[in-house]
Amino acid sequence: MSTVSRTVRLKTKPRPWPPKAVEEAARRYYDHLAEVWPPAAVAARRAYEGRLRQLTAEGIAGDAPPVALHVLSFSCERDLPEQVASVGSFLAHVGVPTELTIVSDGSHSQDSRDLLEAIHPSITVIDWRSVARPGLPQALWDYAEISWRGRKLLVLVSLPVDGPLLYTDADMLFFAGAVELRELPSAAGAGPRYLLGHPPLPAWNDACAQGARPSPAKPSST
């Protein structure tokens, strides 16, 4: 059992947004997509979103092998279709992690939380406040209360890593090349890793940290 799981049971239950707030946020997001995406892309996303419950009922994971890895993603209601696709692609091409924790920014409806957890028994949806460690600066809490970026930052600095852990954004898709992630648990002693961009340039900024730099991950088709 990971430290994250122990923390969740000690905290209060999530506080989902009211249904009307969820609907209004979805409407505004599709209005935004209509301005920046081609019509066919918006229509394809709507169609996929309409099939989410069917996909969950059919079973996304299949016969995925176990992977000794804790996977964590920070997510919101708006990204529900992308989160379902991300989780499904991980289970299909990498395997079933020891735990797959989806940290909500607080906007997920209860139906969406239930849908995500129905994908596979390894999945748990928790509220961002559930993983906040004590003693964080008040400025970070203030930032978290006004922006999802602040909530994401609070989650990332709070995670007690007591074993191999992979963080992934909600809209990350995993393809066949992601099978190499199964090697991460045994290679965890090499230190932190991060995804290379394409072309393979390190996603690292020396201004972000001092001391030893983490080793770059091998170039990947993921």
Give percent above pLDDT 90 in the chain: 57
Q: Which pLDDT belongs to residue 22?
A: 79
What pLDDT, on the 0 to 100 scale, is given for residue 62?
A: 61
Quick one: pLDDT at residue 198? 60
Cβ neighbours of residue 49 closer than 8 Å, sequence gap 6 or more: 80, 81
Tell me if residue 169 falls in helix, strand or coil.
Answer: coil
Query: Where along the chain do its domains lie?
Result: 3-190, 193-222
Helix pair angle (80-93, 110-119), 10° resolution: 10
The model's confidence at residue 3, banded by pLDDT at 50, 70 and 90, is very low
User: Average pLDDT in the 167-182 region?
Assistant: 92
pLDDT at 169: 93
Query: Are the beta carbons of 8 and 107 closer than 8 angstroms?
Result: no
CATH 2.40.128 correct for 3-190? no
pLDDT in tens, 92-129: 999 999 999 999 999 999 999 999 999 999 999 999 99
pLDDT bin (cut points 50, 70, 90) of residue 7 is very low
Please give the Cα distance from 173 to 221 (Å, whole number): 11
Q: Which helix (H) or strand (E) element contains residue 47?
A: helix 39-50
Q: How many whole angstroms separate alpha carbon 182 and alpha carbon 75? A: 23
Q: pLDDT tens digits for 30-80?
A: 999 999 999 999 999 999 999 999 988 877 666 778 999 999 999 999 999
Tokens matching residue 30: 């599709």
pLDDT at 213: 47
